[in-house]
């Protein structure tokens, strides 16, 4: 029986080193492992998203079809296993002081982590079709108020500009950066750059444009008697009493057929010369048929609030194609300068620069730098880092329910 007790005690001593190794992990060690894993997986996710964006810019440059995928959050499943073994030698009668001197024991700990993630085409999810829809101007305003560089926002977000006092928009599609832009592109580019520079000085704000007056909406009088007696329904001026139809349906019919909007307004509106005069109702109101108007966004003088230009926003995919156009009009050594910045630049070799991403396209390797270069010479600045950061955020937002989309961004 004593021999059994001695053997049991010896086995217990052999196990103690194993227990000590496991306990060394502790709460602090576990926290450090989690911290390291989280930082590593975050870096992997960011690099993957940036690479998807960079490759699509290069595909757009070469007029290849763009293709986007969703990348789920990467998670790690750490496992820890402990293995131990012992071999006991025979108990020698003449070796009582050290009866287990011929024995041995070993213990090992194995730690591993298996990363899990999924990559799926964007088309698998209906909400991701927002990549092809104009981005809500509210989103541009949010970045504007957050203090993002104005040149980055105005080049990336704005697809078309209608300058104050003009009816035709100017489309920013990359042709203005060609070696021989048209006269109109050159003139409009100069005006747009002037607005960008004024915005950088705090002299221009971005937001909802002031609503146009009735005189600016090309209004013409509409006879309520004609509306009531010819189209049916009660007169909107007498509260709907009269005819036998539904006045709301009648108004919708008129607006649908004409593409304009019926407005009941007070009679103090200036009546243009030659316009038919229809007597107001007892509340001094007149019925007018006017051009429709929606929420318009644009740039205004920060001091006076005077409109400078209204805008139409791009979709995410259009941002990618626009950057591809800027690469097509330049080279690796001489990229296109938009205003006084380089929106996107690639390098054929790493050299001594720090890089945000390395991608392969058409059997070539490209390096994209993350930093903004400014040597103080007054030359163009490389804002590729800002552009990649903005696109990364928009790309992530496009994969969530909170992504803001513009239901209707036509220039009014």
Q: Point out the least confidently predicted range of 195-204, 223-232, 240-249, 341-350.
A: 240-249
Tokens of 126: 């209906």
Q: Decide: 255 and 261 in contact? Cβ < 8 Å.
A: yes
Instruction: Say yes or no to pLDDT of 243 above 80.
Output: no
Give the span between the Cα atoms of 83 and 20, in whole angstroms: 13
Q: What are 234's strand-pairing partners?
A: 242
Q: Side by side, which strands form the sheet with 170-171? A: 170-171, 158-163, 307-313, 297-301, 204-208
CB atoms within 10 A of CB 169: 18
Task: Name the more confident of 280 and 97.
Answer: 280
- Determine the Cα–Cα distance for residues 299 and 152; give it in Å rounded to an integer: 15
**What mean pLDDT is reported for the chain?**
77
111 vs 76: CA distance, rounded Å: 12
pLDDT tens by residue, 5-51? 544 544 454 444 433 344 455 667 777 777 887 888 888 888 888 99
Q: What is the pLDDT of residue 93?
A: 55
Per-residue pLDDT tens over the stretch 355-388: 778 899 999 999 887 665 556 667 788 888 889 9
**Which two structure tokens, joined as six digits, stand for 320?**
């990618």
Reported as a pLDDT band with limits 50, 70 and 90, residue 152 is very high
**CB contact at 8 A, 198 and 206:** no
pLDDT score, position 107: 74
pLDDT at 406: 38
Contact status, residue 320 vs residue 56, Cβ threshold 8 Å: yes
Q: Is the pLDDT of residue 68 over 90?
A: no
The pLDDT value given to residue 7:
47
Higher pLDDT, 115 or 291: 291
CA distance 313 to 307: 17
CB of 299 closer than 8 Å to CB of 306: no
Q: Which residues contact 46 (CB under 8 A, 6 or more apart)?
A: 392
| Confidence grade of residue 332 (pLDDT, cut at 50, 70, 90) | low
Strands (E), 241-284: 261-266
Tokens 């349906």 sit on residue:
249
- CA–CA distance, 353 with 277 (Å, rounded to integer): 73
C-alpha 5/C-alpha 51 separation (Å) is 65
Whole-prediction pTM: 0.69
């Amino acid at each position: 029986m004593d021999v059994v007790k001695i053997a049991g005690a010896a086995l217990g001593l052999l196990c103690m080193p194993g227990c000590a190794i496991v306990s060394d992990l502790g709460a602090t060690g576990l926290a450090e492992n989690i911290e390291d894993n989280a930082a590593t997986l975050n870096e992997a996710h960011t690099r993957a998203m940036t690479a998807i964006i960079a490759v699509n810019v290069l595909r757009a440059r070469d007029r290849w079809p763009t293709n986007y995928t969703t990348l789920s959050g990467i998670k790690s499943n750490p496992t820890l296993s402990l293995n131990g073994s012992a071999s006991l030698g025979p108990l020698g009668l003449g070796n009582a002081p050290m009866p287990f001197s011929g024995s041995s024991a070993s213990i090992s700990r194995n730690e591993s982590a298996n990363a899990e993630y999924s990559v799926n085409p964007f088309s698998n999810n209906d909400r991701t079709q927002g990549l092809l829809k104009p981005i809500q101007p509210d989103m541009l305003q949010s970045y504007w108020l957050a203090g993002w560089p104005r040149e980055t926002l105005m080049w990336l977000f704005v697809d078309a500009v209608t300058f104050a006092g003009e009816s035709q928009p100017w489309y920013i599609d990359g042709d203005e950066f060609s070696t021989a832009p048209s006269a109109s592109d050159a003139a409009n580019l100069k005006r747009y750059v002037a607005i960008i520079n004024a915005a950088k000085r705090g002299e221009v704000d971005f937001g909802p444009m002031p609503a146009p007056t009735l005189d600016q909406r090309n209004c013409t009088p509409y006879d309520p008697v004609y509306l009531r007696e010819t189209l049916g329904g009660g007169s909107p001026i007498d509260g709907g009493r009269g005819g036998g139809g539904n006045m709301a349906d009648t108004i919708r019919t008129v607006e649908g057929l004409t593409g304009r909007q019926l407005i009941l307004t007070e009679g103090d509106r200036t009546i243009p010369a030659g316009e038919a005069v229809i007597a107001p109702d007892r509340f001094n109101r007149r019925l007018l048929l006017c051009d429709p108007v929606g929420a318009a966004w644009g740039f205004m003088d920060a001091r006076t609030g005077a409109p400078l230009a209204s805008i139409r926003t791009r979709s995410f995919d259009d941002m990618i194609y626009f950057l591809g156009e800027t690469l097509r009009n330049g080279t690796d050594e001489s990229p296109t300068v938009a205003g006084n910045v380089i929106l996107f630049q690639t390098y054929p070799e790493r050299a001594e620069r720090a890089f945000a991403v390395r991608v392969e396209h058409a059997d070539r390797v490209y390096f994209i730098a993350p930093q903004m270069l400014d040597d103080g010479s007054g030359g163009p600045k490389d804002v590729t880092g800002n552009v990649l950061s903005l696109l990364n955020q928009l790309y992530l937002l496009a994969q969530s329910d909170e992504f803001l989309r513009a239901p209707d961004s036509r220039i009014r």
